[in-house]
Amino acid sequence: MFFPAYRPRRMRRNENLRRLIRETKLSVDDLVHPLFVVPGKGVKKPIHSMPGNFQMSVDHLLKEVKQSKDLGIPAVLLFGIPDEKDELASGAVRKDGIIQQAVRAIKDRVPDILVITDLCFCEYTSHGHCGCLKDGDVDNDATLEMLAETAVSQATETAVSQAKAGADIVAPSAMMDGQIEAIRDGLDEAGFENTPIMAYSAKYASCFYGPFREAAESAPQFGDRRGYQMDPANSDEAVREIGLDIEEGADIVMVKPALPYLDIIRRAREEFDHPIAAYNVSGEFAMIKAAAQMGWLDGERAMMESLTAIKRAGADIILTYFAPEAAKLLQKQA
Ligand code: PBG
């Protein structure tokens, strides 16, 4: 029998030893909390497949944002669900649109937290697709014009309402070719050179968005998103997509979903030195919640293990519905 002199288990024998050699430390600084805002007052409608998450009117949203801020979470990501949808997503570009109202209210009442606005049309179109339709197909270039217009109006509205210029970060998520450059130009022309873009660069056509589509009421009415979102089987393509977005001016690049794509996060980390975000999406959240409710998993540990894995893979920023829960736990541990 051969017994090696180096026995790794020596360093695992108690928590203080483990703390000394721990490589990855999850921090509240890494977290972004996604939230869903709807028109009206006094609305707080549970999203069944995402326990603890709600569609909220601005009054309730403000309380939630304040709670996130008090927990030390640096940013929220906002999704707007308008009252009325139409073919051209007009609700997204309106100055008094739901997102614009929400951003203004947050900047006014809870200024000390970053507001990231999701920039996509699937919540606003009657057909549920992320862009303009032409002959039953999503028209890339017409969508680019719409996207640039929305970015400008959102940022403009926010700037008017607050001393700091613009929504703090805009996050285009439609996977239209050339969208980052178009939005960067639009922002610059309107005087928002300092508004960063977080690009959903490697966004896969994933079934893990299922619960989100209930939350955002954005399920496509026909077809699916495989014509614009990425094929889950591809990895080199993610590198090309991320590279393009960086060339076009993205300040943060994102991989989405997170857990089934840890290899993509790791690859992005190795190939680019840009800040990398990973979106721990609704389905990843729902799986853990459901298993925990059944008593099949320790929900808290599954949450922390997942978030730590995403960070270990190379993410600097984690967008997650677990943000408040994880922040509370991290606070307790500190
Ligand atoms: C598109 C968008 C989606 C998500 C974020 N932005 C859904 C989609 O592409 O269908 C999914 C987020 C999640 O599942 O948590 N606006």
What CA–CA distance (Å, rounded) separates 18 from 217?
45
Given a cut of 80, whether residue 5 has pLDDT beyond it is yes
Residue closest by Cα to atom 10 of ligand 1: 209
The highest-confidence range among 3-17, 35-49, 111-125, by mean pLDDT, is: 35-49
The whole-angstrom distance between residue 322's C-alpha and the CA centroid of its chain comes to 12
Backbone angles phi, psi at 270, to 5 degrees: -75, -30
Q: Are 308 and 24 in contact (CB under 8 A)?
A: yes
What CA–CA distance (Å, rounded) separates 315 from 310?
6
Maximum Cα–Cα distance across the chain:
75
Residue closest by Cα to atom 7 of ligand 1: 209
Given a cut of 50, whether residue 331 has pLDDT beyond it is yes
> How much is the mean pLDDT over the chain?
87
Q: Which atom of ligand 1 is nearest to the CA of 123?
A: 16
Top mutation candidate among 53, 121, 173 for ligand 1, by most atoms within 8 Å of CB: 173
Top mutation candidate among 209, 229, 320, 321 for ligand 1, by most atoms within 8 Å of CB: 209
Q: Are 264 and 230 in contact (CB under 8 A)?
A: no
pLDDT-based confidence at residue 133 (cuts at 50, 70, 90) = low
Class of 23-333 in CATH: alpha beta
Q: Which atom of ligand 1 is nearest to the CA of 280?
A: 15
> Which residues are catalytic, by number?
203, 256
334 or 40, which is more confident?
40
- Domain ranges in the chain are 23-333
Q: Is the CB of 209 under 6 A from ligand 1?
A: yes
Q: Which amino acid is at 291?
A: A
Q: Is the CB of 133 under 6 A from ligand 1?
A: no
Q: Between 179-189 and 140-161, two packed helices, what is the crossing angle to 10 degrees?
A: 40
Given a cut of 60, whether residue 156 has pLDDT beyond it is no
Encoding tokens for residue 89? Answer: 């997503």
Q: How many CB atoms lie within 10 A of CB 180?
A: 25
Model pLDDT, residue 251 = 97
pTM as predicted: 0.90
Q: Is the CB of 215 under 6 A from ligand 1?
A: no
Model pLDDT, residue 134 = 62
Top mutation candidate among 79, 98, 212, 279 for ligand 1, by most atoms within 8 Å of CB: 212
pLDDT-based confidence at residue 85 (cuts at 50, 70, 90) = confident
In which element (H, E) is residue 116 found? strand 114-119
pLDDT-based confidence at residue 158 (cuts at 50, 70, 90) = very low
Q: How far is the CA of 138 from the centre of ligand 1 (A)?
A: 17
Whole-number Cα distances in Å, 269 to 24, 31, 276, 290: 15, 18, 7, 31
| pLDDT tens track for 49-84 | 999 999 999 999 999 999 999 999 999 999 988 887
Model pLDDT, residue 174 = 76
Residue closest by Cα to atom 12 of ligand 1: 281
Encoding tokens for residue 123? Answer: 């919540």
**In which residue are the tokens 């977080």 written?**
198
User: Beta strand 132-134 with 44-46: parallel, antiparallel or unpaired?
Assistant: unpaired
